[in-house]
Each structure stands twice: as structure tokens, then as C-alpha cells.
Copies of this chain bind each other. A is one copy, B any other.
Amino acid sequence: MPAAGRRVWNFSAGPGVMPEAVLRHAQAEMLDAAGSGMSVMEMSHRSPAFDAIHTASIADLRTLLAIPDNYHVLYMQGGATAQFAAVYLNLVGQGDTTTPVDYVVTGVWSDKAAKEAQALGAHVRRVTDTSADRHTTLPDAAALALQLGAAGHGDRGGKPAYVYYCDNETVHGVEVSPATAVLDHVPKDVPVVCDMSSNFLTRPIDVARYGVIYGGAQKNIGPAGVTIVIVRDDLLQRRVPAIPAMLDWSLAAKNNSLYNTPPTWAIYISGLVFKHVLAAGGVTAMEAQCAAKAARVYAAIDGSGGFYRGPVHHAARSRVNIPCRIVVDGAPAEALETQFLADAADAGLVELSGHRSVGGLRFSLYNAMPMAGVEALIAFMAQFQQKHGPPRA
């Protein structure tokens, strides 16, 4: 165990590492935020002090992603899981079982999104599903063009109300890259809905090409408990009345996310992160850092002579969630992986286990993970291999 009071290198897939400067800021004003004489947790959500926090956070996010004026930015609750329902309920409406909705299924999260819509009555079409490859690939351009293209609508029962995809699958570690790889195949009059929970703010995006973008905060933004929804104004008109208020985008938009008490602390911390990212050069700088960190880790895996192996095909590899197996004699060595996790924790490197559904190791490299943490991980990987791996050829 590291000495008390020492910060560990936290590779959690989320909730995950946050910028230390943000934590120190929140710590310093815990009892008196900005001269208010109270913690942000104690502020009325309708007070001028909280309004300033809320307003600045949205302005900063708009700057970071160059969000056009015809998009609303909403703070909602319930994580991506709540949005899985909200997407269908806002864009089609519960009880409409005929209007098709198209899902590009590339991992467990897009699969869950499709299932949730289906459970609520949606006519879900899985335009592609990489489960046969255990979600280690992405659909190729030709398949997407065929399935998503206008030409395909007729064969499949008409134009969908939307096309849904997940930009980065946290569990399986596959990321759509470039960001436009799916978008390029969707006809212009079909809105694209994108879950960016795990790669939010890791690269510039062209918001205008999306209908809806959302992301839970607990990976690249702030604490768990707030979800950011960026929605094009015209799509706010689609929802039907029988929708729970807390899932209703148009209600949130009309009330500036203050229909009821929002998760004020989570919004505050998110705002501090936005300011931190802006000061660090914005999403272009994040993209460069992200690429550099991922390149170092993949190089360590690929250069290990097969001791470390990433299951994901190269073209589908995520920059932020890197699954990895320790392989001996051609098979995953689970006992060694357990040893790896224990020894890493002793060295102050934590949350390196793969998702419980896939096992193995996983290295999450969100924005707040500095290169120093990545270097510490790589050094540890080399040491561990030297100690436990077969002699290198």
C-alpha cells in the first residue's frame, strides 16, 4: 500500500480520476464558496450564487465544443441509462411500436440502449451488431453504408426516427474513429444520437452533425450523478405527453435544467473541470494528450512479445479504455492477472481490472490521467513481465 496521504494512480473506468487542481479548488472553498458563506452543496439552486456557477459551466462547455446556438445544453440525472429510455421517449414516444429506430451495436452500452428502447416498446432495428466478434471490431464502412444509407430504408421498413451509436464502448474498448465514421453513412434528414460518456471532451467534434449527444459525467467530466445532454432545438418538439418529467428534454430545456432541484454539486464540479480543460488548451490539447498516452500504452502492449495482448482489432482500438490480457502459452493467464492487480496496487497503481463481464485488465486513460501516471504504468508492466513472463526471445 502507498503511504497515507499519497495519491494513487487511478485507472478506473469511471467514476475515475479527476484533475487534482479541481479537487484542491473544491476543498479550499468547501465551507465558503466564492464569499457566499456556504458550501456549494448548501446553495439553493435558485440563488444568484448557484446561477452564476450553472451559467458559467454551460458557457464554458459551449466554448469547449463550439456548440451551435440552435442546440440546448441540459443537465439531467440518471446517467446514460436514463438517456437510453429518454432517447426513445423524446424522439418517438412510448407506445409507438411502428416507427423504426436504428441502433449500431458495438458493445455492451449500445446493446443496453437498444434493449431499453425495446423494453419500452420501440421498434428497434440493429443495423449492425458486433457481438459475433465479442465486440472487438467495428462495422466496416461498406456495411454501414448499406445498412444506414437511404437506399436501405425501403428494404427495412422505412426511414428510422433516429440512428443511435456509442462513440466509445467503455467495457470492450472500441471507439469509433474518426468520429465521422458512422455519421458519414447516415442520410442528412435522419438525426444521429450519440452516447459519448467515456470519450467526452477528448477530441473536437462537429456538433452540428448530431441530433443529440449525451454523456454521463463520471469519466471525463465530474462526479457521478449528472448527465450532459446536447440536443438540437427542433428535436425538442417531438416528444409525446406521457413521459416522466425527469426524462423530458423539452421540459428541461424550457426550465434551463431547473424544473426541479438539479444535482448542484455535480454541476459545480463539472464547471470546474470545464475551466480546467479550457485553461489546458481545450479539446484540441486533450486530443493530443489522449493520443500520446494511448500510443505509449499500446506500444507497451504490442512490444511485449505477446505477454500483454489487447483483444481489440487495431482499427477499433479505443484511446481511453484499453482492455488487455496477460497471455502465457496462448491463453489468458488469470492467476498472473490477479498477481498483476495485487502488485500494481502495492505500487500505487489501482483500478486496473477489466470489467467483470470480460475479465482481464483494463487501463482507462481519461483526460485527468497525466502522462506521469501512464509512464508509471508502463514501467510497472515491464517490471512485472521481467519477473513473471517467459524469457524474451
Contacts and interface: CB of A to CB of B under 8 A. Distances in A.
B356 A46 contact: yes
Contacts of A292: none
B224 A226 contact: no
User: In the complex this chain forms, how many copies of it are found?
Assistant: 2
A44 B225 contact: no
Nearest to A9: B37
A94 B242 contact: yes
| Interface residues of A, dominant DSSP | loop
Contacts of A265: 223-225, 265-266
A209 to B, nearest CB: 28
Interface in A30-44: 30-32, 35-39, 41-44
Contacts of A44: 12-16, 351
Size band of the A side of the interface?
35 or more
Contact of A45 (B46, B224, B350): B224
Contact of A18 (B39, B222, B241): B39
Interface string A1-35: 11011111010111111101001101100111001
Contacts of A244: 82, 85-86, 89, 116, 120, 244, 247
Interface in A330-365: 348, 350-351, 356
A381 B351 CA distance: 55
A246 interface: yes
A43 B20 CA distance: 14
A42 B16 contact: yes
Given A15-B261, A225-B265, 5 more contacts: A2-B37, A20-B31, A23-B31, A85-B246, A225-B263
